[in-house]
Structure 1
Amino acid sequence: MSEAVVESSYVPYTSPFQFAEMNFEKSALELGRAQWPNYNDQHYLRGCKWSPDGTCLLTVVRGAGMHVMELPSDLFIGLSVQTSRPIVPLVPAVSVPEGGLIYDYCWYPGMNSGNPATCCWLSSGHGGPIHLWDAFSGDLRCTYRGYNNQDEVEPAISVTFSADGQSIFCGYKKNVKIFSTGRPGRDYVEYPSAHQVSCLVTSQAQPGVVAIGTWKNTIELVSQSDGTFRHLCKLNGHKGGITTMAFSLDGFRLYSGARKDKEVICWDLRVPGRPMFCVTREVNTNQKINLDLSVDGKWLVSGGTDGKVQVWNVAEETYPSVHMQMSLHNDCCNGVSLHPYRPILATASGQHHAMDPMHHTRNTTQYENSLCMWWIGAQEEDPDLLTAIIKAATNS
């Protein structure tokens, strides 16, 4: 693999984090926030994703590029957070003013902040090739170019890395193109698809297994090895085009969500003929509303167009009910991402608000284009604050 793209030598990762369990028994405590104005450009966010090593958070803002936020240093350790902790303004450590609409993006799965060569992410956007960006400098490392039948550069609708990071899977209108990560350019192999590939996800437990979601409501599972593909099964059950998917850590389950479809479906891939169970969320637009799964496979979280984050304990043997529902935003919550080591939830909000052609105004006066970090672990009261409250109450 070329050193100019991603470092191939293995560098052991020593996590700087103290592990603490997630606790969805209390309301989330806000830790940090970044806000973008709406204006006419409508700078709403398009999801957020923690880096694999947990040191930084990536988001895309419509019309304002891509931004990397570092996790505040005081959150690396500690089993609890005081409720009086001030909300920290999140300032981008790296910003990339990418032109045009960003369709999809993802981190390199082997990212390790101790090895800068592995710190990078992919993005695909309107009218251009796939870009690999340096997470330290924001520089463009290389491009991967897919072409259509007229030999024109075709933008990828969805992108993801293979579990080992050696390959890049890119969804197009009629196929999935697979690039070698260490070989930028236009060399790729194709797997045909009858419909536009809107979402891709790879299994960590079963390397080579890829779930291909389409705008035609279907999910196809394929196995890839040595440049050849084998069809495994096709899943049907959603009412809208597939927008988000997540494999469980053991690879036995696949969770999926679709646009204008309130159901999140859990598929048991050992018996893929019918859904294992369904849970509901609020999704009444075509916008991509992401879901995420904790690394231990216990907690499934999803945003919603109502601004709420819903949490399910999917480790339960019975049909899971909503474990917790948190109203965290005043606008659509389109992005959720659980930190890999710490009990921290990242959320992204905002959506397109149509213009009223008669009055030349938006159909709402309430906008919230924000990126937030929330503590979902143990909380403790500040003893100094409690003393001050008791003293003030006594004097009154």
Structure 2
Amino acid sequence: MLKETEMLYSWTWIPGDKERLLSTGRYQPIHLWDTNTGTVIDSYKCYDQVDEVTSAYSITQVDNQSFLVGLKNEITMFRYDRPGRENQCIAKSNRNELGKIGIVSCLDYSPESGLLAAGSYNKTVNIFNLDGKYLVYSLTGHSGGVTQVKFSSDGYRLYTGARKDNQLFAWDTRNMNTHLFTFHREVATNQRIEFDLIVEEHQQLLFSGGTDGVIRVWDTLIGDIVGGYMLHPDSIPGCSLHPSRPLLATTSGQRHPDQVISMDEEEIITENSLKVWDFAKRLY
């Protein structure tokens, strides 16, 4: 078990390395962990405009030598072999600048296309060319702050989701004037409700949790839903697919306000659990 001192914002495995991962959280620097010993190998620090340590809200990998972090109105790059405060600014917006980056809540990089997607709580997704460090697109359409962005394995599709927004969007990275498909799920709170992708023989499937306890599955090649499963009695914020086996990991739970339930109201069912599902014979 890896124990941070505060709430985690984001974490990610090192590419091709099953023994190290990065994490970032509130009031703490970015940590590189040894998962065998549970110890911190190195720390990487971000600083704000008054030279005070600030937290990164999101992390994504570039390669096995460098990674990107999302801050407020800024995206920076760190190298693994240079811990401390040394970093390279990739994108930054000023306080009075139109089209501000905002709080970068999620990141994903596609090495196939060279594009970096940066989701923000200002309801936009900014697409950058990482090599040239310039803005390519600024995507809009979500009704809430964007909580996850994810490229397909070939880099031709980008999927985006937001809090308090029942729509997942699929975008064609070769033409981002409008979204390609819209997938509907239940997201009624400010939770980050995760989704994940898997490629089968003749299908590319998108899995997503929901605040209604349902896992929904779509075929992204045609944009149709192919399955829906009530797996938990509470919200499913966590949804992760095994890269090579037909296994799905889900986590459940959310914050419930203290309520006095009257005689004619149903009791609120709560659950805080992690479950792993074998869907080889169940789905599609």
In the alignment, structure 1 residue 184 sits paired with structure 2 residue 83 = yes
Describe the superposition over 1:48-106 as per-residue Cα deviations: whole angstroms up to 9, x where unpaired: xxxxxxxxxxxxxxxxxxxxxxxxxxxxxxxxxxxxxxxxxxxxxxx122121111111
**1:250 paired residue among 154, 168, 184:** 154
**1:259 paired residue among 163, 167, 177:** 163
Structure 1 residue matching 2:180: 3-state secondary structure? strand
Q: Which moved more, 1:348-357 or 1:266-275?
A: 348-357
Higher CA-based Rg: 1
**Larger RCO: Structure 1 or Structure 2 (Cα < 8 Å, ≥ 6 residues apart)?**
1
Aligned to 2:21: 121
Aligned to 2:248: 345
Structure 1 letter corresponding to 2:3: P
Structure 2 letter corresponding to 1:185: G
Aligned to 1:141: 41
In the alignment, structure 1 residue 175 sits paired with structure 2 residue 80 = no
- Write the distance in 1 (CA, Å) between the matches of 2:107 and 2:260: 37
**1:327 paired residue among 220, 230, 236:** 230
**2:258 paired residue among 339, 343, 355:** 355
Distance 1:174 1:134, change over 3 A: same
In the alignment, structure 1 residue 159 sits paired with structure 2 residue 66 = no
**2:217 paired residue among 300, 303, 311:** 311
Higher helix proportion: 1
- Write the distance in 1 (CA, Å) between the matches of 2:11 and 2:274: 16
Structure 1 letter corresponding to 2:106: C
Structure 1 residue 143: Cα displacement: 0.6
Q: Percent identity?
A: 40
Structure 1 residue 270: Cα displacement: 1.0
Structure 2 letter corresponding to 1:109: P
RMSD between superposed Cα atoms in Å: 2.0
TM-score normalized by the length of structure 2: 0.90
Q: Show structure 2 runs of 5+ residues with no match.
A: 94-99
Aligned to 1:202: 109
Q: Show structure 1 runs of 5+ residues with no match.
A: 1-94, 113-118, 380-396
Structure 2 residue matching 1:261: 3-state secondary structure? coil
Residues paired across the two proteins, number? 269
State how 1:272-311 maps to structure 2 within 5 Å: 272-296=176-200, 298-311=204-217
Q: Is the 8 A contact 1:147 1:154 kept in 2?
A: yes
After TM superposition, the runs of 4+ consecutive aligned structure 1 residues lying more than 4 A away are: none
TM-score normalized by the length of structure 1: 0.65
Q: Is the 8 A contact 1:303 1:309 kept in 2?
A: yes
